[in-house]
Structure 1
Amino acid sequence: MAKASKQSTPAQRQEVSGIERLGLRVSSMINHPVAQVQRWVTIHRLDTDGDREWEEVMGLLNETNGIDMTFNDDESVTLKWEASAEMDRSVEVCEPVEEPAPF
């Protein structure tokens, strides 16, 4: 019995652009549970962050309503935000209503 020929193509790896990589890193830092509790995060510029990418992402953050940006002396940026109305919403607990038996 002949073996079925298996065509395997190596998975091609997609390169992520510098701006996408920086955007993902910043997003991950903002969405981290500790940052969400304390409502601030400091983003440090890495050697791999290009000038164009850094300026683009910082510009997008600066245009975002509700984010206060502080540019630090060490080229890092501290982002602070207030809790949104969604986050402050209290959780409602619904008590199950007992219905009379249908028989």
Structure 2
Amino acid sequence: MSKQQKKQRPQESRGMSDIDRLRLRISAMINGPRAQSLCQATIWRLESDSDQAWNQVMEELGETDGLVMNENEDGTVTLQWEAAIEDGGAVEEPEPEMVIQRLHEDRIPF
């Protein structure tokens, strides 16, 4: 295949669509540890995001149950949600990432 034919292929055949790329970026923002601990994430539009992709993803987010969207003055959008409640009826505390263990807590008797 010639170089000209390769350049004329649609973007979808080369990789992800604009919408999929935007969904993935917003998903990473929402699933980040800070956003999860605060139950909120602030997302923003990049210059490379098309109007169609941005509007479609904002519509999809707006239809999501339990998600509150607030448009900020600077053009960003803050997403807020309630923490998920486990089957036991209470939110479980996360396991500590590091446990400090002291090998010699008592004085050695010599």
Indicate whether the TM-score tops 0.5: yes
Matched, 1:76 2:76: yes
Percent identity reads: 46
RMSD of equivalent CA atoms: 1.9
Q: How far apart in 1 are the matches of 2:37 and 2:93?
A: 16
**Where do 5+ consecutive residues of structure 1 fail to align?**
1-12, 92-103
Q: How far apart in 2 are the matches of 1:84 and 1:78?
A: 18
Partner of 1:54: 54
Q: After the TM superposition, which segments of 4 or more aligned residues of structure 1 sit over 2 Å from their partners? A: none
For residues 4-49 of structure 1, what are the alpha-carbon distances to aligned partners after superposition, in whole Å with 9 as ceiling and x for unaligned?
A: xxxxxxxxx8411100000000001000011000111100111011
Letter in structure 2 aligned against 1:23: R
Q: How far apart in 1 are the matches of 2:23 and 2:77?
A: 14
TM-score by length of 2: 0.66
Paired residues, number:
79
TM-score by length of 1: 0.70
Q: How does 1:1-103 map to 2 (within 5 A)?
A: 14-86=14-86, 88-89=91-92
The change in CA–CA distance for 1:90 and 1:77 in structure 2 (over 3 A counts) is: closer
